[in-house]
Each structure stands twice: as C-alpha cells, then as structure tokens.
Homo-oligomer: A and B are copies of this chain.
Amino acid sequence: MSLLLVGTMAFDALETPLGKVDRIIGGSGIYAAWAASNFTSPIKMVSIIGGDFPDNETSELGKRGVAFEGVEVVPDGKSFFWSGRYHLDMNTRDTLVTELNVLAQFDPKIPDSYQGCEFVMLGNLAPAVQISVLKQLKKRPKLIIMDTMNFWMDIAMDDLRTALGMVDLLMVNDSEARQLSGEHSIVKAAKKIREMGPKYLIIKKGEHGALLFYDGKIFSAPALPLEDVFDPTGAGDTFAGGFIGYLARINDISFESMKAGVIIGSAMASFCVEKFGPTRLKEISAADVDGRVSEFVSLSNFEIR
C-alpha cells in the first residue's frame, strides 16, 4: 500500500563519544524513507529543501520507490541544519545549532498524485504543519501515525492537542510521554495520552526497548543489546519508518500486526545506530533485515512448561 511520509530532509553535524562528522544527510523524512523502503513502495515524501540538497540523495531514494513531487525546492534557500553532541550515556544530547532555513517557510502542498494514500506518517514537525497535511487529504487514510517532541509541548500545546485528536497513533519517548501527561508512571501516562485522541500509543525507551498501548493491552518490545551505540541520531525516525513500512506492506492494522511492526521498527533502529547518520541504513540488504529480525525473535522468545 502507498505510504505518505511528512518529514525533514536536512543536514546534520554530529558529535558522539565515538566520533564526529561535520556534515551528513539527515532529517526525519530521510531516515523514515530509508527504513520504510525496505518494506513498501511507493513512498510519497512531503518536505522542503534548499538548492544545496544533493541530487544523489534523492535519486538513491528514488530508486527505492520514493517520490518527491511533494517536496518543495527553494533554489536559493538552504536546507534545515541541526547540530548536536551526545553525552557518554548516548541517551541525552545537547543541541549546538538549529538553523531552520527553508523549514521556517514550510507550508506543505499535497499533490493530487499523493491523494488516496492509506498509510500516513507525520514526522516531528510543528503541529500546525501536521494538521495542514491531514486537512488536505481527501480520503481518511487507514492509519495515521505521528511523532512529536517536548519543544512543541512547550510552545504549541493547543495545536498539538488538535493534531492528537486527528491521528490514530502517537509515538514519543518516555520523558516526552511524562511531560505530555504530567504523570510519572508510564502506565498512567499512556492512559492520559490515549484519552487525548490517539487510540494507539508507542513509548520509545531507547536501550530499554518500546511499549505499545491499545485498549487495555500492552506489548513490550526489547531493544537489541549492543556493544556500542555509534550514533543514535535518527533512530526514532527509523523506528517509525520501519513500523509503518511493514504495516503498509502487510496492509493490516490489527494489534497483532502492530506488535510485529514494533519489532520491525526496533530492528531497523538497531541498524541505524551502528554508523553515523543514515550510512548503515543505506548498506543493509533484505537478508540483513531478516537476520536482524530473527535476532529479535530469539531475544524475546520463550516457552513456559
């Protein structure tokens, strides 16, 4: 099934305890597209870039079934730029530079060729932008998932509430879930957030895995224990892309399928962190993905007798 993907296409500068890179391709749309393209096509990207965005990055994704008609190009503008430094535990990071550039004027227009997508992922963007995309869709998609972050809870809570009322699934990390709900207990936080709109909620816990909540049911997915996390940038977007890409492939949004989707997303994220930026996601084959998913099966599989 076709997948509509709204997210950033950007440049990042990254510094982790294991290395440093001055300029690498990034953005939520890029990570999600690389991950999702292992499972489904076409993928219809909605984003905005400057004249500086490299053609080969879009053509590589184009070969994997990603369409860019919905990506606005501002020839004399610069693409979004983010620079960050990770702490030793890799769970916390400092933002060093945020240059919105063309993203400041992002007012997405959904082309006619994008209408009818059954699966929609709204990457972390201003809630007003997420709402605008949904309002332009002529037919209600089968599944709308969204990401957000603490920044929007601080400055755009009204819009965020509106957006939450329009989507099926929200994906946040544990500290964001606590901030959004005002509850310390993750179970209580999940209950409150689901009352705000999304029937489904995924809480990402980094090296501790992820939780999926729906209708009194909970699924707990492990993270793959890794010797080293090289660069966590984009892991959440990669998770989201793998999750919705898999659901689009099997064209099913039952709770059972979503559980499998969380495992697929976790497997994709475990690749993402192995090298800087999306480097590792560009290298992996279908066999690599299958092998990694099998590792998750043995990691969490047990039988009581």
Whether, in the assembled complex, A273 has its beta carbon less than 8 Å from a beta carbon of chain B, the answer is: no
Q: Tell me which residues across on chain B come within 8 A of A299, comparing CB atoms.
A: 218-220
Number of copies: 2
Across the interface, A263 reaches (CB within 8 A) one of B250, B297, B298, B302, namely B302
Q: Of the candidates B186, B205, B263, which one forms a contact with A304 in the assembled complex, judged by CB atoms under 8 Å apart?
A: B263
- The verdict on A136 contacting chain B, using a C-beta distance below 8 Å, is no
Q: A209-B220, A298-B217 are in contact. Are A226 and B263 (CB under 8 A)?
A: no
Known A208-B208, A211-B225, A225-B211: A219·B302 in contact at CB below 8 Å: yes
Q: Is A253 an interface residue (CB 8 A)?
A: no
Nearest chain B residue, comparing its CB with the CB of A222:
B220
Interface size on A, residues (CB 8 A): 40
* Sample (21) of A-B pairs whose CB atoms are under 8 Å apart: A89-B184, A185-B226, A186-B225, A188-B227, A211-B225, A217-B298, A219-B298, A219-B299, A219-B302, A222-B222, A256-B302, A256-B303, A259-B301, A259-B302, A259-B303, A260-B302, A260-B303, A262-B302, A263-B302, A263-B304, A300-B302
Q: A205-B208, A250-B305, A264-B304 are in contact. List 9 more A-B contacts (CB 8 A).
A: A89-B184, A185-B228, A186-B207, A186-B225, A208-B209, A209-B209, A218-B299, A222-B300, A297-B304
